[in-house]
């Protein structure tokens, strides 16, 4: 068993390649194989968001704190707050991030291997919609 007391998550920068703004990853569990459960805390600074992407086996998001939004390729947009849960099925193209005025932290649960990133960033027009 591994127990990390509160404050024991080691946050690392998510990097800039697939994100707009500053995003932090906090790994919650080892990932012994590339297709094992990937359990990740993700912290978005205000205005930060992912690029458009999809997940091979889908994704569960659980919003821990703050405010954000998620949008799918068909234009559906949902505002997020603490306690909300989002499931995007396998292959559904989407993005998620914080609002302009708030941080957001969510848990991300995926299996099936790495995120499939689209080339395009989320435009300001889509972000502000």
Residue ranges binding Mn ion (CB under 5 A): 59
Residues 14, 26: Cα–Cα separation, whole Å: 9
Give the residues across from 59 on adjacent strands: 88
Residue 68 Cβ, how far from Mn ion at the closest point, in Å?
A: 12
Q: What are the φ/ψ torsions at residue 128 (nearest 5 degrees)?
A: -85, -5
Cβ nearer to Mn ion, comparing 8 with 113:
113
- Ranked by CB distance to Mn ion, the top (closest) residue is 59
Helix (H, G, I), strand (E, B) or coil at 117: strand
Whether 62 contacts 28, CB under 8 Å: no
Residue 55 Cβ, how far from Mn ion at the closest point, in Å?
A: 6
* Cβ-proximal residues to 109 (8 Å cutoff; 6+ apart), any chain: 37, 38, 39, 40, 59, 60, 61, 62
Cβ nearer to Mn ion, comparing 8 with 34:
34
Residue 117 Cβ, how far from Mn ion at the closest point, in Å?
A: 10
Cβ nearer to Mn ion, comparing 38 with 67:
38
Residue 46 Cβ, how far from Mn ion at the closest point, in Å?
A: 19
Cβ nearer to Mn ion, comparing 52 with 67:
52
């Amino acid at each position: 068993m591994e127990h990390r007391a509160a404050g024991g998550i080691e946050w690392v920068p998510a990097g800039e390649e697939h994100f707009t703004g500053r995003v932090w990853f906090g790994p919650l569990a080892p990932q012994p194989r590339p297709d094992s459960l990937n359990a990740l805390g993700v912290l978005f600074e205000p205005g930060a968001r992912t690029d458009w992407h999809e997940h091979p086996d889908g994704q569960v998001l659980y919003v821990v704190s703050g405010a954000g939004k998620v949008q799918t390729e068909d234009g559906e947009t949902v505002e997020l707050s603490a306690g909300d849960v989002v499931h995007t099925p396998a292959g559904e193209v989407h993005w998620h991030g914080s609002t302009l005025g708030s941080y957001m932290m969510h848990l991300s649960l995926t299996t099936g291997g790495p995120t499939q990133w689209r080339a395009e960033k989320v435009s300001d027009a889509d972000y502000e919609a």
